[in-house]
Amino acid sequence: MKPTNIGAHDYFHKVVDCQWACPAHTPVPEYIRLIAAGRYSDAYMINWRSNVFPGILGRVCDRPCEPACRRGRVDKEPVAICRLKRVCADLKDDIQDRLPRAPEKKNGKRVACVGAGPASLTVARDLASIGYQVTVFDCGASPGGMMRSQIPKFRLPDSVIDEECGYIVNLGVEVHYNHWVTSLRDVLAEGWDAVFVGTGAPRGRDADIPGRKEAAAQIHIGIDWLANVAFGHTTTISKRVIVLGGGNTAMDCCRSARRMGGDDVKVIVRSGFEEMKASPWEKEEAIHEGIPIINMRVPKEFQHDNGKLTGVLFEIVRAEYDAKGRRSLIPTGEPDELHECDEVLVAIGQENAFPWIEKDIGLEFDKWEMPLLNEKTLQSTLPKVFFGGDAALGPKNIITAAAQGHEAAISMDLFCRGKDLQIRPPPMTNLVSQKMGIHEWSYDNQVSEEERKKVPVKALEKTLKDIKLELELGFDPFMACAEAERCLNCDIETVFTVKTCIECDACVDICPTECITFTSNGEEDDLRGRLKAPAKILDQALYVSDVLKTGRVMVKDENICLHCGMCAERCPTGAWDMQKFFLQCAEAGTEARRT
Amino acid sequence: MTYLAKPKLLRTDAPKNTLGYTRRDYEGAISTLCAGCGHDSISAAIVQACFDLDIEPHRVAKLSGIGCSSKTPDYFLGASHGFNTTHGRMPSVLTGAALANRDLTYMGISGDGDSASIGIGQFAHAMRRGVNMTYIVENNGVYGLTKGQFSATADKGSKNKRGVVNSDTPIDLVALALQLGASYVARSFSGDKEQLIPLIKGALRHRGPAFIDVISPCVTFNNHPGSTKSYDYVREHNDAVNRLDFILPRDQINATYPAGSLRRIVQHDGSILHLRKLATDYDPSDRVGAMNHLQERHALGEIVTGLLYVDSSAEDLHRHLNTVEKPLNQLGDAYLCPGSKALDALNASLR
């Protein structure tokens, strides 16, 4: 293999698994260390810069970082990154004076954002703070979009949404609430320099099976029902409720129903338990609240008595996979199963809907009726119009919406300044030695052997009675510190210098996970098998040095490195050093590198 | 020196031997030697060898004297018996222990000061008596603990860190061991574990005195251009006579060797030594030839390594003295004190 180019910013970035997995590339280990040090406000600001809504995401993020966490590969469970984020939001001081202020003198460009959800607000923040005049239009009475209408209050209280959306609105963003945008043509006619569409995926998919029309009064579309609950239009539900669907919306539906009077709430899903789209922890929480999840049942018919729903009939299936791994659900032949109920919540997916975008204004759609976009720049075929969030590339999650908001803001800024959208500003990166003295590092290199901390919750009897009562209490400072110490500091990179290595093997002997090997070079497949600990996880890189004096190379499997710094402590010549890699994504207004 | 304990977290697929132990279970306390010390590599090689041989740690006794090398038994086999003797007296204490309990595996760890200076008399007699042990000398050519004076194995003409030339003739412990009757004699280099680990395995499974001289650079005092025991010098002048593959009777032999290049030696317990010849006319069963080869190459400035001599049918001290089979601590009162009748019978037989 060729020597690894550690100068390329994505090599060390990829070693920081959590940051790499985060769509907004939040510098996770950096803020976790600050939490351990009790510097909550500093930790909050690092989050705020990258993901805009730390308090919200600390409660409801889809946390792609946690399955990626290295701790999960060398220990039982990953670091509770998401809930640590909540800690810095909960325990911070007043940070208002640290927030950027919109320049007094505007740059003369006017930008419109349609929708006041996470994507739009991210665009608004990024552009308003560099002098754009930003106007947001939203149909709701307050900002937050789907974060406010879809997520039950017992998971995300309004106060958190108010605070974090408020930081953005206070940047001088003009917001028109209760304003339905009915025509993009009309918007464009108002002469904006750029328009951002962040209208989410507002249409819930329906279950089109016999009995749907007749029993319509007791069958609700999940996301619409959740919105009605959020805004207080719906306050009760029948005793027996069936939730159809296996995603996170289904979990929110069943847990809300449980709090509104549903005694017998069940989730019934087509797929198996493992394949359900809901995050594992959301399934766990539903089960914790006494909600059974019944799998491998395809709804066949809504049964009713003269329009009054009596139950749902299900066909029992099993999953079969073809050679390509595609799944098909095959009826098992068992008799259909009837589940009696009084009301049904349908949460089987969300779709985009753009009835307000005219088909003849030059904005093209694909065959799935999604806008044709450049995936990198998020620009539509109408150069002035940009998309982000669920409206852009289909429904995902809040953190993706924020990440796309940042990208769209960069594109809109480049567009407004007449620059090439393809030449993106690079991230800011830094790599600095952490050596403070002999065996002294500026990070705590002792590896914690504690188990993952569980977030304390309020008593179930209490929370099931009050839908607005937040279930989780969040970590206290001591638990937060213990959990933060579990972080392996993957951003403190092991950097190897060929010319000072004397090949004494000290690093090989001390490494607790045996991830360093000195051997003759070879092709990657061959080399992976020849290491002291064979490197089986192929998407984890091998760090290969240039040729050493003996003709061998140093090969390090990044997969299971604990970043404990033992190799650097045992190295007599300082050929190993622990250096902190810091990467912060570019924001709108950053200049592209001149080449 | 690292003051933090090694993290307990292991890779999830860490291999286990037939006893169910991982390699980490054969480690000891964290080393307090200088970073990069060759001795730590030797400790790691011992850990690997014991892991591979499925040795029960509590059936090993590791003995040492005084010095950097003699500190190392603390850094491997943390669950084994250990004895730090006075300076240079390890061979005698080991001899006594071996006589008392022949069921343990004995490992003597020593250095060039401990074995070639103050303890040379002890060393010589343990070899000639044929004590069943693995005797490892971690040989760096300097007195590291007292700031780098030449030791008795430092080559004539080599320089110390300050540039002073050594005018004394060196003691070659390998040559001594050959002459004094060690039945398994090898030399290796701490920076070459591929060579060292099989040599340790073969020694642990050898019956009789097995001696391994391991050149182990002192990074602090003897790893400079004028040294003949530095990483660079040893790598440049390493003249290996053979490469050993150690094979347990249960192992499948997968390697293929070109015809005529292999010497196969079966030890008393059925373990097999496969010696891949590197010096074509070298015969590891010829003691006199070995001594000659050693002297010739040394005169050329080369460091001969490999398994230099092995006698797989060697006898040991117990056989010579016709000692009792059982360890002494397992002999009951009736056996140790057979009574007046037995005494009378013995007396009668001598009248």
Euclidean distance between the first and final Cα of chain B, in Å?
67
**Closest CA relative to residue B67, chosen from B29, B109, B27, B107:** B109
A438 to chain B, minimum CA–CA distance in Å?
A: 9
Q: Chain A to chain B, count of Cβ pairs less than 8 Å apart?
A: 97
Tell me the nearest-neighbour CA distance from A542 into chain B, angstroms: 16
| CA angle, A531 then A537 then A542, to 5° | 50
Whether B41 has its CB under 8 Å from any CB of chain A: the answer is yes
Is there a contact between B231 and A75 if contact means CB atoms under 8 Å apart? no
**Of residues A380, A383, A350, the one with CA closest to residue A365:** A380
CA atoms within 13 A of residue A179's CA, in its CB half-sphere: 17
Measured distance CA(B106)–CA(B317) in Å, rounded: 13
Longest dimension (CA), chain A: 87
- Give pLDDT, residue A437: 87
State whether B9 and A74 contact (CB < 8 Å): yes
Q: Identify whether the C-beta of residue A305 lies closer than 8 Å to the C-beta of residue A203.
A: no
Q: Residues A99-202+352-416: name the CATH superfamily.
A: FAD/NAD(P)-binding domain (3.50.50.60)
Q: Encode B249-276: b = buried (16+ Cβ within 10 Å), e = exposed.
A: eeeeeeeeeeeeeebebebeeebbbbbb
Q: Within an 8 Å CB–CB cutoff, is residue B300 touching chain A?
A: no
Q: Is the ipTM of this complex over 0.85?
A: yes
A504 interfaces chain B, CB cutoff of 8 Å: yes
> What are phi and psi for residue A546, nearest 5 degrees?
-70, 175
The pLDDT assigned to B1 comes to 44
**Terminal CA-CA length for chain A:** 29
Question: Which residues from B are below 8 Å from A502, CB to CB?
Answer: 36, 219, 223, 231-232
Q: What is the pLDDT of residue B268?
A: 87
Give the mean pLDDT of B89-116.
96
- Closest residue by Cα to residue A32 from A451, A456, A444: A444
Q: Which residues of A touch B41 (CB under 8 A)?
A: 504-506, 509
pLDDT in tens, B315-344: 899 999 999 999 999 999 988 899 999 999
Q: How many residues does chain B have?
A: 351
Cβ contact A571–B41 (<8 Å): no
pLDDT tens digits, one per residue of B111-155: 999 999 999 999 999 999 999 999 999 999 999 999 999 999 999
Q: Is the pLDDT of residue B2 over 60?
A: no
> Which residues does chain A have within 8 Å of residue B193's beta carbon, measured at their own beta carbons?
505
Q: Which of A521-530, B63-72, B248-257 has the lowest mean pLDDT?
A: B248-257
Please identify among residues 206-265 of chain B the ones whose CB lies closer than 8 Å to any CB of chain A. 217, 219, 223, 231-232, 235
B99 falls in which pLDDT band (50, 70, 90)? very high
The fold adopted by the segment(s) A204-348 is FAD/NAD(P)-binding domain (3.50.50)
B23-329 CATH:
3.40.50.970
Phi and psi, residue B281, nearest 5°: -100, 20
B254 pLDDT above the threshold of 70: no
Note whether A59 and A53 are within 8 A (CB): no
pLDDT at B253: 67
By CB atoms closer than 10 A (0-12, 13-18, 19+), residue A426 is: middle
Token pair listed for A319: 């999953």
Cα gap B94→B85, rounded to integer Å = 9
Give B201-243 pLDDT, tens digit per residue. 999 999 999 999 999 999 999 999 999 999 999 999 999 999 8
| Candidates A501, A504, A516, partner chain B, best to mutate (most B CBs within 10 A) | A504
Cβ contact (<8 Å) for A508 and B44?
A: yes
- Can you give the C-alpha Rg of chain B in angstroms? 21
| Tens-binned pLDDT, residue by residue, of chain A (595 aa) | 999 998 887 999 999 999 999 999 999 999 999 999 999 999 999 999 999 999 999 999 999 999 999 999 988 899 999 999 999 999 999 999 999 999 999 999 999 999 999 999 999 999 999 999 999 999 989 999 999 999 999 999 999 999 999 999 999 999 999 999 999 999 999 999 999 999 988 888 888 888 888 888 889 999 999 999 999 898 989 899 999 999 999 999 999 999 998 889 999 999 999 999 999 999 998 999 899 999 999 999 998 888 888 989 899 999 888 888 888 888 888 899 899 999 999 999 888 888 889 988 988 988 888 899 999 999 999 999 999 999 999 888 999 999 999 999 999 999 999 999 999 999 999 999 999 988 889 999 999 999 999 999 998 888 888 888 998 999 999 999 999 999 999 999 999 999 999 999 999 999 999 999 999 999 999 999 999 889 999 999 999 999 999 999 999 999 989 999 999 999 999 999 999 999 999 999 887 666 5
Kindly state the tokens that stand for B50: 């014991």
**Beta carbons of A449 and B8 less than 8 Å apart:** yes
What are the strands, taking DSSP E only, across A322-462? 327-331, 337-340, 343-346, 350-351, 385-387, 428-433, 435-437, 440-441
Q: CB-based contact (8 Å) between B190 and chain A?
A: yes
pLDDT band at B159 (very low <50, low <70, confident <90, very high): very high
- Residue of B1, B3, B4 best to disrupt the A interface, most CBs of A under 10 A: B4
Q: Is B44 on the interface with A (CB under 8 A)?
A: yes
Report the distance separating Cα A41 and Cα A452, nearest Å.
24
B252-256 long-range contacts (CB < 8 A, ≥24 apart) are none
* Range B281-292 average pLDDT: 92
Which of B4, B8, B231 has the CB atom closest to A504's CB atom? B231
Say which residues have a Cβ less than 8 Å from residue A141's Cβ, sequence separation at least 6: A177, A178
Residue type, A520: S
| Helical packing angle, B120-129 and B90-100, nearest 10° | 30
Identical fold for domains A99-202+352-416 and A204-348, yes or no, is yes
How far off is chain B from A563, nearest CA to CA, in Å? Answer: 11
> Does A449 touch chain B if contact means CB atoms closer than 8 Å?
yes
Query: Where do the structural domains in chain A lie, given as residue ranges?
Result: 99-202+352-416, 204-348
Q: Per the structure block, which two tokens stand in for A135?
A: 């106007």
Sheet holding B105-111, edge to edge: B81-84, B60-64, B105-111, B133-139, B209-215, B184-189, B303-310, B238-240
**R_g (Cα) of chain A, nearest Å:** 26
What is the predicted pLDDT for the residue at A204? 87
| HEC letters along A423-458 | CCCCCEEEEEECEEECCEECCCCCCCCCCCCCCCEC
Query: Mutate which of B1, B10, B11, B236 to test chain A, going by most A C-beta atoms within 10 A?
Result: B11
